[in-house]
Copies of this chain bind each other. A is one copy, B any other.
Amino acid sequence: MTHAHPIRVYYEDTDLAGIVYYANYLRFIERARTEWVRNLGIDQVALRAEQGIVFAVRRVEADYLAPARFDDELVVRTDVRGVTAARIVLAQDVWRGEQRLFASVVTLVALSDRGVPVRLPPALRGRLMPA
C-alpha cells in the first residue's frame, strides 16, 4: 500500500552545513505526492482544467531525525492515513536505506479555482482511499 519514490540529493538541495536544507524535504515529499497521484491514475492537469480542482497543503507536521547529504539516494514513502469528504491525510517519510531521516504528516484539501475548499468528487475519493 505504500508508495515509494526515489530521490537523489544534488548540490541544489544542500546548504553550507553540508546537509539537505530543511525546506527541501517539503519539495521531496511534494514530488512523491505528484507521482503517487499519477500512479493512482489521477491527472492533476486535467483535474484542474476540467473540474477546476487543485490540491493544496493545509497542514504539515515534520520531524527532522537525521540529515541527508549530497549524493545520497533517498526514498520517500507515502501512506494514506485517512480520507474524508474534504481532506486527505498522508504520512510521508524520507528514508536512506534502513534509516528514517524525516517523518511527516501532511493534510491536503481540495480547492476550487477560486481557492474555496470543495468536497472531493466521489470517484476521486475512491481512488485515493486505501482498499
Contact = CB atoms under 8 A, between A and B. Distances in A.
Given A11-B34, A26-B22, A115 B67 contact: yes
A36 to B, nearest CB: 12
Interface residues of A, number: 36
Contacts of A67: 56, 115
Interface in A71-104: 71
B71 A45 contact: yes
A57 B11 CA distance: 12
A12 B30 CA distance: 8
The A contact surface, by secondary structure, is: mixed
Nearest to A58: B64
A93 B69 CA distance: 27
A8 B5 CA distance: 13
A17 to B, nearest CB: 6
A127 interface: no
Contacts of A21: 11-12
